[in-house]
Amino acid sequence: MERFGQDTTFRIGGDASRVAFIDSLPTLKHEFSRVKENGEPFFVLGGGSNLLVLDSGFAGAVFKMGIRGTEIIHEDSSSVVVKVGAGEVWDEFVAWTVEREFWGIENLSCIPGTVGAAPVQNIGAYGVEAKDVIESVEVFNAKTGEVSKMTHDECSFGYRDSFFKRQGNKHFVVISVAFKLTKIPQPNVGYKDVASFFTEREIKNPGIIDIRSAIVVIRSAKFPNLNKEGTAGSFWKNPVVSNSEYERLVTLYPGLPAFPTSPGYVKVPLAWILDNVCGLKGYTQDGVRLFEKQPLVLVAQFNARAEDVVGLAKKVELAVFSKTQIQIEREVEYVG
């Protein structure tokens, strides 16, 4: 058995039968031929920031994605397309783009994990989602051994969702991602926390470096120190409800915020519900708690068990349903 749970940002959970580091496409192909021959289950691990490994561990092969490389494949006077290896650290790539004043992902600063996870999860924060800038995704088909390129539309992006997350598609492994970024300044500072940051400091025309710096400060205040305790970031998705359902909820809970999504639907902040409706901000049970600065974040002491995290998560989900009739959906994936 080899370490698995300890190599996630939760730092809890069991081990895997074996772990292989994938630093190139030939290595990836070799390892997949091995699991195919042995009939082994597999799991592709990026930065380990959006999953919980169960205490029983994983009876199969874990492939630690380490394919690197950042390359400009097209550039003109107004835009640039950058191809990035799936194993690159996401925030290092964001810093690389900010340094060159390539606009588009500065609001996604400080999100833990690797580039390969960006299209899978359609990561998002502060008014921006990865789908806004992804042009194409290069994938390896573990069933056929073929490498192909998927267009933006073929990725079927949704809210914290994509083609790659859905059942039956897990054999498509992200190798690299092509991002189309702009050289024309396009500050996105409408999100409440970001707008407040600049208003308080009387910064009227923030540049790309200012925006990244703001996101770093804002996120640092909302998320725990990973050197002291474990977390997978936001544990649940924010619920999306119909306008009529929102009217019912806001009658019961005046002040409930809402943000328009698709026609006829709004997104409501789960953190507000957990705090103001359920009174669960900071709630602690068996070494696991809802973070006192952001209750959407579930935090675990390093000596906690995955079972303790699952137990608290279930309690929270039942409490939200009891108060609102909303069945909240996990953003974190359980493995094992």
What is the token pair recorded at 112? 């833990």
Catalytic residue from among 136, 234, 289, 305: 234
Alpha-carbon 65 to chain mean position: 16
Catalytic residue from among 88, 138, 229, 331: 331
Is 331 in the active site?
A: yes
Q: Mutual orientation of helices 192-200 and 208-222 as an angle, nearest 10°? A: 110
CA distances from 144 to 33, 42, 141, 172 (A): 10, 15, 6, 10
Distance of alpha carbon 48 from alpha carbon 64, whole angstroms = 9
CA dihedral (163, 159, 93, 292) in degrees, to 10, reads: -130
> How long a stretch of residues is the chain?
336
Distance of alpha carbon 235 from alpha carbon 320, whole angstroms = 14
Catalytic residue from among 160, 212, 219, 305: 160
SS3 state at 157: coil
Is 56 in the active site?
A: no
Compute the chain's Rg from CA coordinates. Answer: 20
What is the token pair recorded at 301? 């002491």
Contacts of 45 (CB under 8 A, 6+ apart): 4, 7, 8, 19, 62, 63, 64, 65
What backbone torsions phi and psi does residue 194 show, to the nearest 5 degrees?
-70, -45
Strand partners, 284: 289
Contacts of 269 (CB under 8 A, 6+ apart): 238, 257, 259
Q: Catalytic amino acids?
A: 160, 234, 331
